[in-house]
Amino acid sequence: MTWLKRTAIVGLSVVGVVFVHLATNAVLPAPWNQVNMVFVFLIFFLLFEESGTVVWIAFSVHFFIELYAVSPFGILLFSGTISTLLSFWLYQYFFTNQSWYTAAALSLLAIVIYRSIYTALFLFFHVFGYFALPPWSALLLVYGWEMLLTSGVTGLAYLLTTRPFHKKRKLLPVEWRV
């Protein structure tokens, strides 16, 4: 029953975060619409749950978001899932504590990995003539805003959600469950 309840909560969270991400993209003015709410959620899930389940959540979320993208199916799904997997490993083996700057740094690294893989795939499709390559200046500007704002929002949200409770979260050993 607990498992069922947990699955239902995760399922609803996936749908919710997809909707929030699409709404953020459509509603907020530039550059605030560049906040990647998916990664804010994934980093939060990773920090609080410390479970490899985050990779499969990333997979589900990016599958849904893929349905709203013009790029060939698979680019967002692959880059989003693999970058979450790599971020999970970074958290598992590199980060040693939990704080607002850990959240911000992890979020920044996750977006850097995500956009690096995305751009590599973009270039791959460009070579085969599927895509016209946007000017690098425009691309880097958008990426820059996304990295800055997403890591800022993640760090701030972590600070706001953990501060009121005035207690340090105990860092549990992370198990490999992917």
Partner 1 sequence: MLTSRVKAFIGVSIVISIIIALHYLGVLNGVEQSVRAVMSVPSGFVYKKTHQFASEGEQQHAQDTARAAFDSAKFILLSEENESLRRQLNFISKTPYSSIGGDIIGQDVEPVGNTIIINRGTHDGIENGQPVIAYDGIFVGKIVRTEESTAVIRLLHDGQSKVAATILNNDHSIGIVEGGYGISVRMNFIPQNEHVSPGDVIITSGLEKGIPRGLVIGRVEAVEKEAYQPFQKAILSTAADFEHLVTVSVITGI
- Sign of the Cα pseudo-torsion (152, 107, 36, 129, in order): positive
Phi and psi angles of residue 71, each rounded to the nearest 5 degrees, phi first = -65, 160
Task: Kindly tell me which residue out of 10, 31, 53, 82 binds partner 1, with binding defined by CB under 8 A.
Answer: 82
DSSP 8-state code for residue 173: P
55 binding partner 1? (CB under 8 A): yes
- Give buried/exposed letters for 72-102 (b at 16+ CB in 10 A, else e): eeebbbbbbbbbbbbbbebbeeebeebbbeb
For partner 1, the closer CB: 92 or 161:
92
For partner 1, the closer CB: 160 or 178:
178
176 binding partner 1? (CB under 8 A): yes
Q: Which of these segments, 2-10, 40-48, 133-141, 165-173, binds partner 1 (CB under 8 A)?
A: 133-141
Task: Kindly tell me which residue out of 12, 160, 171, 178 binds partner 1, with binding defined by CB under 8 A.
Answer: 178
Task: Kindly tell me which residue out of 90, 131, 148, 174 binds partner 1, with binding defined by CB under 8 A.
Answer: 131
Q: Give how many residues touch partner 1 by CB under 8 A.
A: 41
Q: Dump the DSSP string for 17-65.
A: HHHHHHHHHHHSPTTGGG--HHHHHHHHHHHHH--THHHHHHHHHHHHH
Residue 112's nearest CA partner among 77, 148, 163 is 148
Burial of 114 (0-12, 13-18, 19+ CB in 10 A): buried
**Per-position x/- string for 59-78, each x denoting binding to partner 1 as judged by CB under 8 A, each - no binding:** x---xxx-xxxxx-xx-xxx
- Which of positions 6-35 make contact with partner 1 (CB under 8 A)? 18-19, 21-23, 25-27, 34
Binding residues for partner 1 (CB under 8 A)? 18-19, 21-23, 25-27, 34, 52, 55, 59, 63-65, 67-71, 73-74, 76-78, 81-82, 85, 89, 115, 131-132, 134-135, 138-139, 142-143, 146, 176, 178
